[in-house]
Structure 1
Amino acid sequence: MASEKLDSAPQPDLELATDGDKYINDASNGTINESSKNTANGTSKDASKDIPKDGVAEKAPVQAGGHPGAPSPPPDGGLVAWLQVASGFVLFFNTWGLISAFGVFQAYYESGVLFQATSSNISWIGSIQSFLLQFAGLIAGPLYDRGYLRLLLVTGSFMIVFGLMMLSLCTEYWQALLAQAFVIGIGAGLLFVPTVSLLPTYFSTHMGLAIGVASSGSSLGGVIYPIVLYRLIGQIGFPWAVRCLGFIALATFIVPLVFMRVRVRVPKPRAIIDWSAFTDAPFATFMLAVLIIFIAQCTLLFYISFYPVNRSLTSESLGFYMTAIFNAGSVLGRILPNALSDRIGPFNTMGPLTLVYGTTICCLLAVHNAAGMVVEGIVTGFFSGMVIALPPVCFRMLTKNPSMIGTRMGQGFAISGLGLLLGGPSAGAILGSDEPLNWTGIWLYGGVCGLVAGLIILAVRVMRAGFTLKVKA
């Protein structure tokens, strides 16, 4: 018997990666066609012949009595779901967390002990690393959609550990560029997009909170990695300090390699690039907003440690710790805004907070002592938290076809990642190399980028929900 005609728009073919009998379900009203009934009754009829073009093909969990149950929605909790969050926490710890520690690398490279290079050239290492974390999503997203999560986890984990070990052997600028920017950057990119694509398949009403908790791993990594690196450089030297970072990454990667599981798979290959994303006005506009806010983020991450030391606002020791202080402030900034987004909507949350974020960057111009620098680092760090945690939620909300979530996430972060590529070097060019450095220009640059991004995000919110305030969007 042919399945009933869907009243709603065509839905993607999805397959739940769980054990159980196959059945065909009408995505609109939940009715099950005859082939699924035959399967439930034990007949050998091939149910796949009756799959409607716009139906939903799933494997459902077998309930009591051996009969397949209704297609299960995201569990929105439970042990398995939260193990995915824990695994995502570790992956954020070793991807964005490691990149968030670049301020310490920048300050150390600026000292000229390892090699001689200008501030702008040094910042290219962090910029390319950050950009490749995003750009690799063009490959990682479609591979995730095709069910290659395990391959991505193994390859990405290996590249990050290998890159750190190679960085420990570097004595020239070009060597550090290859190891830190390219090897670690690509490895991180193979892990990041699958992480933010997987969690929405396990959570619905708590999706923002889940991604926020997972992304707080980047804050912890941004605290631990700078402190470990700074303390060990003075005790055992740069090579072994970096190797210790590699050992930390190697040990923690065990968690996602053991527990991460795909819940929803696409049964047939999809296009590597979803060209409709570029004609989807809200999606394309939001990509532009994230690109601009990433410029502001790089400005802070790369120069938050060097600024107070150069201006003699803090001691050299406290200057190195500013990266850790900044990232510590972002811990709650990853979780609380995301939890709020579950209640009022991600765009209602991210737009106003981005405006505040841009304002706090401009406030760095008013800092004149160590205490003010610490307070500014914590406050600005808090509002920077949503820069990493909320875009995945927004991209998911802008993706109507859930089977394309990996592809759309990859495209969105690849395009917006241009901000990470341009942010550090452009800020370094504004800063200059002749004393006194142009700190006024660099903080105004970052602050204005934050303000412009906030206005664009609010424009996307209007595109989706109009000017009505009491709408979750």
Structure 2
Amino acid sequence: MSNSSFDDGEKDAGFDKSREVEVDEPHLTEEQEDLREAGEPPFTSHVDTTSGGDSPLARVASEKPSVNNIKSVPNGGLRAWLQVLGSFFLFCNTWGIVNTFGTYQTYYEVGILASSSASDISWIGSVQAFLLMLVGTVTGPIYDAGYVRHLLLGGSLLLVFGQMMLSLCTEYWQVFLAQAVCMGIGAGCLFVPAVAILSTYFSTKIATATGLAAAGSSLGGVVYPIVFYKLQPTIGFAWATRVLGFLMLATLAISNSVMRVRVLPAGRRKFVDLTAFTEAPYVLFVAGGCLAFMGLYAPFFYVQSYAIETGIANADLAFYFLSIINAASTFGRIIPGYVGDKIGPFNMIIPCSLLTGVLCFCLISSRSVTTVILDLVFYGLFSGTLVSLPPTIFVHLTKNRAVIGTRMGMGFAIFSIGLLVGTPICGAILNATGSYTYVWIFGGALTLAGTALIAASRVAKGGFSLMKKV
């Protein structure tokens, strides 16, 4: 490069070398500045050895795409949408399995685990959900190291193996090991690829893509309970459970076939990013999410037994209540995700989470089939955002895209604590009081408390303006 062209380049960059003063640049907002910095291609420095190493360092673009380079993100196309399809089936067999546990809870209370209390049985589902999120903090660095195929295949095998072993179980400890531990770890291996791969294929459409993928958990939550309930009386618990295992095997095979990593971080991810806990928006959001998840699954686990024991519905109808929640939740994942791209994920999740808490309280006065079904439809619709939007919010709260995985894993690990203790506490409340009213009060109060902290996070991030996209 000639000296004249080099000077011209410096002038174009905003610095006139002849006058040695900076030329004023147009004022950019913080969001525009972040996008401009993230959009710059990665550069490396090298010495031009052709001139004896005396020439100045020249900047050259890296041959590999950078995880921080937003301009290189496809944001669409066949391959990108195939990742959404693969992630859809991963959600179907991770969160979808968690959403199915209410059917097992009701069956176990009168079936093979009838000698165990409702609280003891609910520990199986809560530990499964807990491991789903917690294992993600361990598998995150494995993902960053490039072992994505190993996570997908290993997680798929653990899930299917655990489901097949469940069909052989007759005692509590056996069910706990197969359904809670084995399947929980398998689901945890799949959860990180399900959300991390999408963030490298989409930028402005990330909430929409994640919402469509998260709808897979609703499909699993609709199909699996119905299949189990219809088959169990005719072919027995063992074979009904195996049929679900074969469905899991088929759908997970699709995910393993189509999902491909586009780009990985340049270096291995830190296990913990302690600087995140110095940022008020992040701290408030993870605390709010923990409380919200502590109360969120009360209806998922207990609404079927509530309807049967109170005489609101017979067993044949009550077994469909969980599928009703999950069917409505399909729209609660897709629509808020699309709207969240337009108005901001925080502005979407706060009102939906607020209504979720209110609807949990409404179950107290729901005494007929019609009112319970209406309540569950809206509960599923609004509660879906608490599963589909947090990954997008973690991206929104993290300027450096290279540590998104770390912060997301840390956040979900904290969320998992709420999942772990929430439903067993509901069971303990039910055992102590004999009334579902206090279960709904507990679930609704915790969800509303979580919503308040999420709202505080939104204010810390974007201020009090209701019209601002946050």
Task: State the TM-score bracket (shorter-chain normalisation).
Answer: 0.7 to 0.9
Q: Check whether the contact 2:43–2:62 (CA below 8 A) recurs between aligned residues.
A: no
User: SS at the partner of 1:59?
Assistant: coil
Deviations 1:292-339 (A, max 9, x none): 111122212111211101111001111111111111110100111111
The equivalent position to 1:468 in structure 2, one of 457, 465, 470, is 465
Distance 1:294 1:133 in 2: 13
Tell me the CA shift for residue 193 of structure 1.
Answer: 2.0
Q: Check whether the contact 1:141–1:409 (CA below 8 A) recurs between aligned residues.
A: no
Within-5 A mapping of 1:261-410: 261-410=260-409
User: SS at the partner of 1:83?
Assistant: helix
Distance 1:36 1:97, change over 3 A: farther
Q: For residue 163 of structure 1, what is the aligned residue in structure 2?
A: 162
Tell me the CA shift for residue 167 of structure 1.
Answer: 0.6
Q: For residue 446 of structure 2, what is the aligned residue in structure 1?
A: 449
Amino acid at match of 2:223: I
Within-5 A mapping of 1:44-83: 57-60=62-65, 72-83=71-82
Distance 1:144 1:161 in 2: 21
Tell me the CA shift for residue 140 of structure 1.
Answer: 1.5
Q: For residue 19 of structure 2, what is the aligned residue in structure 1?
A: none
Runs of 4+ in structure 1 displaced over 4 angstroms?
Answer: 1-8, 26-38, 55-58
Distance 1:453 1:56, change over 3 A: farther
Within-5 A mapping of 1:425-436: 425-432=424-431
User: SS at the partner of 1:470?
Assistant: coil
Distance 1:269 1:31 in 2: 17
Amino acid at match of 2:157: F
Q: Check whether the contact 2:162–2:179 (CA below 8 A) recurs between aligned residues.
A: yes
Distance 2:114 2:239 in 1: 17
Q: For residue 226 of structure 1, what is the aligned residue in structure 2?
A: 225
Q: How many residues align?
A: 436
Q: Check whether the contact 1:353–1:454 (CA below 8 A) recurs between aligned residues.
A: no
Q: Check whether the contact 2:352–2:383 (CA below 8 A) recurs between aligned residues.
A: no
Q: For residue 85 of structure 1, what is the aligned residue in structure 2?
A: 84
Tell me the CA shift for residue 388 of structure 1.
Answer: 0.6
Amino acid at match of 1:452: A
Distance 1:116 1:444 in 2: 27
Which stretch shifts more, 193-202 or 275-284?
Answer: 275-284
Q: For residue 64 of structure 1, what is the aligned residue in structure 2?
A: none
Q: Check whether the contact 2:112–2:171 (CA below 8 A) recurs between aligned residues.
A: no
Deviations 1:354-402 (A, max 9, x none): 1111001101111111122211111111111111101111111112221
Tell me the CA shift for residue 51 of structure 1.
Answer: 9.9
Distance 1:56 1:168 in 2: 55
Distance 1:267 1:51 in 2: 21
Distance 1:37 1:117, change over 3 A: farther
Amino acid at match of 2:450: A
Distance 1:206 1:33 in 2: 30
Deviations 1:91-114 (A, max 9, x none): 000110011000000000010444
Q: For residue 98 of structure 1, what is the aligned residue in structure 2?
A: 97
Q: For residue 133 of structure 2, what is the aligned residue in structure 1?
A: 134
Distance 1:279 1:58, change over 3 A: farther
Distance 1:37 1:157 in 2: 49
Tell me the CA shift for residue 285 of structure 1.
Answer: 1.4
Deviations 1:3-60 (A, max 9, x none): 999999xxxxxxxxxxxxxxxxx9675596785999xxxx9x9xxxx898xx984525
Q: Check whether the contact 1:88–1:256 (CA below 8 A) recurs between aligned residues.
A: yes
Q: Check whether the contact 2:41–2:61 (CA below 8 A) recurs between aligned residues.
A: no
Distance 1:138 1:71, change over 3 A: closer
Deviations 1:71-90 (A, max 9, x none): 84211111000000000000
Q: For residue 249 of structure 2, what is the aligned residue in structure 1?
A: 250
Taking structure 2 as the reference length, the TM-score comes to 0.87
Q: Check whether the contact 1:144–1:406 (CA below 8 A) recurs between aligned residues.
A: no
Amino acid at match of 1:428: G
Deviations 1:380-438 (A, max 9, x none): 1111111110111111111222112222211110111101001111111111167xx22
Distance 2:270 2:44 in 1: 29
In structure 2, runs of 5+ residues without a counterpart are 15-24, 29-36
Which stretch shifts more, 266-275 or 340-349?
Answer: 266-275
Distance 1:28 1:330, change over 3 A: closer
Distance 1:220 1:37, change over 3 A: farther
Distance 2:421 2:44 in 1: 53
Task: Report which of the two structures shows the higher radius of gyration computed on alpha carbons.
Answer: 2
Amino acid at match of 1:148: Y
Distance 1:130 1:387, change over 3 A: same
Distance 1:230 1:36 in 2: 69
Distance 1:184 1:400 in 2: 34
Does residue 1:146 correspond to 2:145, yes or no? yes
Q: For residue 177 of structure 2, what is the aligned residue in structure 1?
A: 178
Deviations 1:150-195 (A, max 9, x none): 1110110000000001111100001101110000001101111221
Amino acid at match of 1:313: I
Distance 1:159 1:80 in 2: 27
Distance 1:470 1:390 in 2: 19
Distance 1:352 1:171, change over 3 A: same
Q: For residue 11 of structure 1, what is the aligned residue in structure 2?
A: none
User: SS at the partner of 1:304?
Assistant: helix
Taking structure 1 as the reference length, the TM-score comes to 0.86
Distance 1:58 1:457, change over 3 A: farther
User: SS at the partner of 1:199?
Assistant: helix
Q: For residue 13 of structure 1, what is the aligned residue in structure 2?
A: none
Distance 1:99 1:251, change over 3 A: same
Distance 1:239 1:344, change over 3 A: same
User: SS at the partner of 1:203?
Assistant: coil
Which stretch shifts more, 278-287 or 381-390?
Answer: 278-287
Q: For residue 108 of structure 2, what is the aligned residue in structure 1?
A: 109
Distance 1:30 1:429, change over 3 A: closer
Distance 2:223 2:76 in 1: 28
Structure number with higher helix proportion: 2
